[in-house]
Amino acid sequence: MSEKVYTRRDFIRGTLGAAAGAAVLGNVNLNSESDLNATVPSRVVLVRNEKVLNEKNQVDAGVLRQMLDETVVKFTGKTNAMDAWKSLVGAGDTVGLVATPHLNATHEEVIEAVKTSLAAAGIPAKSIIDGQGGPDKPKACTVLIALPALKAHWLTGIGTVLKNYIMYSGNPSGYHDENNVKLGEIWNLPFVKGKTKLVLVDALVPLCDKGPQPDPRYKWPYKGLIAGADPVAVETVCLKVIMEKRRLIKGGPWPLSPPPVCVEAADRTYKLGTSSMENIRIEKFGWMQEALV
């Protein structure tokens, strides 16, 4: 019997779930039929500040640090940033910061702010390392903090959270084309699984089309940080932001193509979290003009 070939029809039918089908159709209602991981809603924290960027989209490091503090405090429920970081990372941990290295890269200011915060929480500088790279990187870490930048991707629909660990596979080309549906399995590798204490998306200046190559027509100052522990939930919220922005630009549906099948598969196949918006609780703080979620 020949292998089933998934086509556009399958995504519209929702064979792999509603999120991918919605992306094909340009429908931004991401309430899927998925009931996996639905018992406890996943929390995603969105913090935005209108003043974090100037008119040239340059980052105000002080404002960013305030945003970061607020993000981790709201995410952990602690009363201050130091306690918040301490609840995520211990003094004996080796912490890998996993940023997007280039092509709409994570802002250096975001990486620096996290480093500074970790240092303030008592993590020695030598224990805070660049966690982006091959399998040796996560193997050297006891804790990972994912720091991807928000962007659409012309090969996978979205190229933010799940794709951020592709180098950990040791075989990134093995996750191209239809195999991008398997990106979630990387998060389940023995030397990766359970180490990610925080997914913190740099959504200061996202890219909603033509990624990863930068096209300034599709970048905009969203001025946000999006955080959570559930990588699929965070990615789903990111996807919603991207799709809503595309709708605003076109004044109507502007489907993501190809559909971001990796998000749905990370939920249904790899059980990494939820891709159902109805099972995600978004907690929003700060400036909310055109929050898009």
Count how many residues are written for the chain.
293
Q: Is 259 in the site for other proteins (CB under 8 A)?
A: yes
Among 33, 39, 56, 251, binds other proteins (CB under 8 A): 56
Nearest residue to 184 (alpha-carbon basis) of 237, 232, 238: 232
| 3-class SS of residue 47 | strand
Q: Which stretch binds other proteins (CB under 8 A): 127-135, 186-194, 213-221, 268-276?
A: 213-221
- Burial class for 191, CB neighbours closer than 10 Å (0-12, 13-18, 19+): middle
CB of 99 to other proteins, least distance (A): 10
Among 1, 5, 125, 251, binds other proteins (CB under 8 A): 5
CB of 124 to other proteins, least distance (A): 26
Concatenating the DSSP letter of every residue in 105-151 gives PPPHHHHHHHHHHHHHTT--GGGEEE--SSTHHHHT-SEEEEEPEEE
C-alpha–C-alpha distance, residues 157 and 256, integer Å:
6
Based on CB atoms, which residue is closest to other proteins, 90 or 214?
214
Q: Which two tokens stand for residue 140?
A: 């050297």
| 3-class SS of residue 54 | coil
- Residues numbered 84 to 103 that lie near other proteins (CB under 8 A) are 101-103
Q: Is 11 in the site for other proteins (CB under 8 A)?
A: yes
CB of 216 to other proteins, least distance (A): 4
Phi, psi of 16 (to 5 degrees): -105, 15
Based on CB atoms, which residue is closest to other proteins, 85 or 270?
270
CB of 88 to other proteins, least distance (A): 26
Nearest residue to 250 (alpha-carbon basis) of 76, 28, 50: 28
Among 32, 42, 104, 160, binds other proteins (CB under 8 A): 104
Site size for other proteins (CB under 8 A): 44
Based on CB atoms, which residue is closest to other proteins, 41 or 255?
255
C-alpha–C-alpha distance, residues 255 and 215, integer Å:
18
Q: Is 130 in the site for other proteins (CB under 8 A)?
A: no
- Residues numbered 153 to 212 that lie near other proteins (CB under 8 A) are 153-155, 159, 172, 176-178, 180-181, 210-212
Q: Which two tokens stand for residue 285?
A: 């703080």
Site for other proteins, rule CB under 8 A: 2, 5-9, 11-13, 24-25, 56-57, 101-105, 107-108, 153-155, 159, 172, 176-178, 180-181, 210-217, 219, 255, 257-259, 261
